[in-house]
Structure 1
Amino acid sequence: MNAIHPTAQLTGDVRFGSGNTIGAFAVITGPVEIGDDNWFGSGVVIGAPPEVRGFAHPTHLDGSVDAAGVRIGDRNVVREYAQIHQGWEHPTRISDDTFIMNQSYLAHDVELGDGVTLASSVLLAGHVLVEARANLGLGTVVHQRSRIGAGAMIGMGSVVTRDVPPFAKAYGNPARVQGANTVGMDRSGYGDEAARSLDAVYRGEFDPGDALDAVAASPLRAILAEWFERAERRQ
């Protein structure tokens, strides 16, 4: 069963699993697929049309939006007045166990990996990818089509205009890599030695080869290698 406040408005093709809580005055417009055990606060907006100038905005407000949809997994928390827009080229996707704080904004085609944390008022432009367990601080702004690697930590008030590699610590305007997220690496079980080595690389003149050498004996090497390979293909 799902607990849906009587003031919530669900329109069009909205599909739920079980155990979800929908707060007062939430607005959900399909196509939207939601898994199990999610919690949505008051005033949340999910499934608004993608903010694309050429997109044909609907003239009837009693059905689904003709867009790529929103897909939300399990055990996510989406706090008050957060906005998650319909996908444009592909569905906007929220994986599992994310924590999205109040007034955050996820534009069309955004993807969040498992365990991502967005602090209050984080703004993600279209096509942004935030990989598993990354943590974005209060008021972070991320440029369209940017990619934030797994386990990265972005400081509050940062403006991210370029990709941030896995387990990096970045902050500023524009954001720059300032070291490794050693706390996140420790919590993920990668060990002190790998954390110290990667931190030294991220604090210096960054080079992917040096980063891979720094964690050569760690399972983290495969994650970094895959990330750098995809980054090179994107250039």
Structure 2
Amino acid sequence: MTIPAKPSPASRISTTGREMTVAELDRAGLLHADESVQISRFAVFIPADELGVLRPVVIERHAVIGAFAVVHGGATVSEQARVEEHSVVGKPEHGYAVGQIYPGNGSATVIGPGAVIRCGAVVYADVHVGANTVIGHYSLLRSGVQVGSDSVLGHHLCVERATRIGREVRCSPGSHITSATLISDRVFLGAGVRTINDKTLTWHDPLRQPTLLAPRFDTGAKIGSGSVILAGITIGEHALIGAGSLVTHDIPAGAMAYGHPARVQGEAP
């Protein structure tokens, strides 16, 4: 269906906290939609977060919201972006994780121009997805993740909180990107890559907080499928890690390394 632009401000309403149809959201003044958008009548909108704070939803021209997609308050779906069926955008973080309790507050979430959120993907609040980037089927982006433009994140990918992913990055299916990882421009991660940020395996310990050191991938680095990158490791610019490697030490720029543990074997081709 097509919803005309309606720039009225958000207001507190009696339906706080419950799901709304697009028509209900529009009547409540919480939908700011340009002309020519396409919103399925089966899409679901949740404008209030766990604390009862209402935020409008912005959908720009030629954007598409598919059937049974769930869009939370504070989300902006930019022009020509697509949110496909059964995906979730702008979900507030709620509960305990790694020494912190998340109260369920919403935040601004941006799906950039021409970006695509594939069926079943979950994008939490405070995430920014760059222009023309694709988030694969059933992938998960936790709070605070930023993804640059023209990147492709494959299906069944888990990207943990506060990770930064650059432009023209390829992350193949089935990989786990641990929290606060830095992935620079034009990095390639093969399928099933595992990253680690915790050397002590501390979880839910009231006597101490975990010391987390995320790995870093510099511009143009390439990581073969099935590799494991340990906490605090830096993979230098244009370095190449062979498939199935266990990386326990920094790899310098331009080097080729592989093995278990990985050792520098020469220069990357």
What's the secondary structure of 1:15's corresponding residue?
strand
Determine the C-alpha separation between the residues in 2 that align with 1:23 and 1:125.
Answer: 26
Cα distance, 1:169 vs. partner?
0.2
1:111-147 C-alpha deviation (Å, 9 max, x unpaired): 0111000000011122110001110001010001100
Structure showing the higher strand proportion among its residues: 2
Q: Is the 8 A contact 1:125 1:144 kept in 2?
A: yes
Question: Which structure 1 residue ranges, 5 or more long, are not aligned?
Answer: 48-64, 184-235
2:256 pairs with one of 165, 169, 172: 169
Letter in 2 for 1:7: H
User: Is residue 2:119 matched to residue 1:24?
Assistant: yes
Q: Is the 8 A contact 1:110 1:125 kept in 2?
A: no
After the TM superposition, which residues 62-211 of structure 1 pair with which residues of structure 2 at under 5 Å, given as runs? 69-87=144-162, 92-126=163-197, 127-181=214-268, 183=269
Determine the C-alpha separation between the residues in 1 that align with 2:194 and 2:132.
Answer: 25
What is the root-mean-square deviation of aligned Cα atoms in Å? 1.0
Question: Which structure 2 residue ranges, 5 or more long, are not aligned?
Answer: 1-79, 93-106, 198-213
TM-score normalised by the chain length of structure 2: 0.57
User: Is residue 2:85 matched to residue 1:6?
Assistant: yes
Alignment size in residue pairs: 158
Aligned to 2:134: 39
1:8-63 C-alpha deviation (Å, 9 max, x unpaired): 0111432122000111110111221111000111111001xxxxxxxxxxxxxxxx
The list of structure 1 runs, each at least 4 consecutive aligned residues, that deviate by more than 4 angstroms after superposition, is none
User: Between Structure 1 and Structure 2, whose CA radius of gyration is higher?
Assistant: 2
TM-score normalised by the chain length of structure 1: 0.66
Determine the C-alpha separation between the residues in 2 that align with 1:157 and 1:29.
Answer: 31
Determine the C-alpha separation between the residues in 2 that align with 1:115 and 1:124.
Answer: 18
Taking every aligned residue pair, what percent have the same amino acid on both sides? 28
